[in-house]
Amino acid sequence: MTHQIALTAGLLAVLVMAGCTSQAEPSSAPPPPEVSVAQVLNKQVREWDDFTGRVSAVETVELRPRVSGYVERVAFQEGQEVKKGDLLFVIDQRRYQAQFAQAQAELERTRAEARLAQTQDKRAQTLVEAKAISREEFETRRAATTQSNAAVRAAEAAVQNAQLDLQFTQVRAPIDGRAGRALVTEGNLAQADATMLTTVVSQDPVYVYFESDEQSFLRYQELARKGERAESKNPVRVGLASEQGYPHEGTVDFIDNQVDSTTGTIRARAVLRNPDRIFTPGLFARVQLEGSGEFKAMLIDDKAVLTDQDRKYVYVLGPKNAAVRKDIVLGRVVDGLRVVSSGLMPTDKVIVHGVQKVFFPGMPVTPKKIAMGAPPPAPQVAMK
C-alpha cells in the first residue's frame, strides 16, 4: 500500500513538471500590424466658409387683372412653365367690346363735326374778306373749328382707353417663368388691381440669400483692402440638402448696406444658373464662400487625427518603421482634407488607416503607402 502511494505521488510530480515545462516554452511574437501611410499633401489652397441660405426667384409676380369682370376661361395648366406674353386668363369681354365700339362711334361723330367746322371756317375766311359777314361771326366759326379738333383728340383718347380695357380682359404672363395654381377659376368675379389670379416666378437664373456673421464680414473687408479678394463677384459653391458636397457654382452679386444689429449678421446674395431646374424657390441651400486668399498648406486625411483630451495628434512613420506621435494644430477642411497649421513637417508620412492598431508611441508597424485622401486598401483574401 505504501508502495502504491509513493508511485502515484511520483507520477503526479512528473505530470506537474511536464505542465510547467510546457507553459515555460517561449511563444512566438506577432508581426507588426499593417497600416496605410500617406505623404503629407502640400499644395496651394483657398479656404471656404460655410453658411446656410435659401433659394429665391429673381422675379416674382403676383398676377392681378387690370379690369373687373367674371373669369371666362383659365387658359393655362397649373404649374407649367410659361413664356412672356402667354395667355393665362380671359375675363368676359362683351361689355368692353361694346365700350370700344361706342368709343369708335363717338370718334367718327367728332371727326364729322370737325370736317364741317373746317369747311365753315374756310367759307367764313372768304366771306370776311368780302365783308359779307361780320368779324365776330368769323371768329365764332374759327373757335368752333378749334373746339371740334379738340373733341376729335378726346375721342381718339377714349378709343385708345377702351381698346386697352379690351386688351386687359386677356391676362397674359408678364415674364418667363413657372405659373402657380389658379386662385380664381371660371365663373368667379375678379376685381381690377385687387383679386390675385396666380403667381409667376422666374426659373433661370436664381438667387441664393445667406447671412454672414460679423467676424467673417470684417475678415473679408480686410482681405479686400489687402487686394487678396474682390469686393464683389466672389465665387460661391452651393449644395442642396439631398446632394453631397457643393456641385453648383455661382458668384456673389449683392451685399447689403448695413449689418443687422439684432443678429450681428449681414445679408448677401449669390446668383446661379438653373438650366436644369434643379433649384426651386424656397429650398434650403448650403453655401460655401471663398474665405481667404490663396496660400500653401499641409493637408492630411481627417481619419488620421486622434484626440487626447484637448489635444489633437497623429502618428507618423519614424525610423525603423516605428509609429511616432506628433501633436498638431488643425485648421479648416479644404477639398475634403484637413489643413494642419503646425506640428508636422512637409516630408512626414502620416498613418491614416489602421491607426487604431497602434497602442503606444514607438510601436513597430508594417507600412503600406497610399495617396493622401485615398480609401483604405482592400483586404487580401487568403488563398485555399
Per-10-residue mean pLDDT of the chain, 384 residues long, equals 45 46 55 89 84 94 94 93 94 94 92 83 73 74 82 91 93 94 93 94 94 88 76 82 90 90 92 93 92 80 89 91 91 83 89 89 90 77 49
Q: Where in the chain is the domain with CATH 1.10.287.470?
A: 93-168
Q: What is the pLDDT of residue 3?
A: 44
Residue 364 contacts residue 322 (beta carbons within 8 Å): yes
Q: What is the pLDDT of residue 182?
A: 94
Q: What is the pLDDT of residue 6?
A: 43
Residue 163 contacts residue 78 (beta carbons within 8 Å): no
Separation CA 153–CA 111 (nearest Å): 9
Phi first, then psi, for residue 120 (nearest 5°) are -65, -35
Residue for grid cell 365700339: 101
Q: What is the pLDDT of residue 219?
A: 85
Separation CA 169–CA 72 (nearest Å): 10
Selection from 99, 87, 283, 81 nearest residue 197 by Cα: 87
Please give the CATH topology (third level) of the domain spanning 48-58+205-294: Elongation Factor Tu (Ef-tu); domain 3 (2.40.30)
Local structure of 99: helix, strand or coil: helix
Residue for grid cell 513637417: 345
Selection from 279, 258, 257, 292 nearest residue 208 by Cα: 279
Q: Where in the chain is the domain with CATH 2.40.420.20?
A: 34-45+296-370
Q: What is the pLDDT of residue 293?
A: 67
Residue 44 contacts residue 296 (beta carbons within 8 Å): yes
Q: What is the pLDDT of residue 31?
A: 86
Domain 93-168 has CATH 1.10.287.470: yes
C-alpha cell at 10: 511520483
Q: What is the pLDDT of residue 103?
A: 93
Spell out the residues 6+ positions from residue 273 whose beta carbon is closer than 8 angstroms to its own. Answer: 204, 205, 250
Q: Which long-range contacts (CB under 8 A, 24 or more apart) does 211-217 make?
A: 211/51, 211/53, 211/260, 211/263, 211/265, 211/266, 211/267, 211/268, 212/49, 212/51, 212/265, 212/266, 212/268, 212/289, 213/264, 213/265, 214/259, 214/264, 214/265, 214/266, 216/49, 216/291, 217/259, 217/266
Give the CA count within 13 Å in the CB-facing half-sphere of 175.
17
Q: Where in the chain is the domain with CATH 2.40.30.170?
A: 48-58+205-294
For the CA atoms of 36, 37, 43, 46, the dihedral, rounded to the nearest 10 degrees, stands at 50
Please give the CATH topology (third level) of the domain spanning 34-45+296-370: 2.40.420
Selection from 120, 126, 114, 110 nearest residue 141 by Cα: 120
Distance of CA 239 to the CA centre of its chain: 7
Secondary structure element (H or E) that encloses residue 280, with its range: none
3-state helix, strand, coil in the chain (%, to 5): 30, 35, 35
First to last CA, the chain: 58
The model's pTM: 0.69
Separation CA 37–CA 372 (nearest Å): 8
Positive or negative CA dihedral for 94, 96, 100, 103?
A: positive
Q: What is the pLDDT of residue 381?
A: 52
Q: What is the pLDDT of residue 30?
A: 80
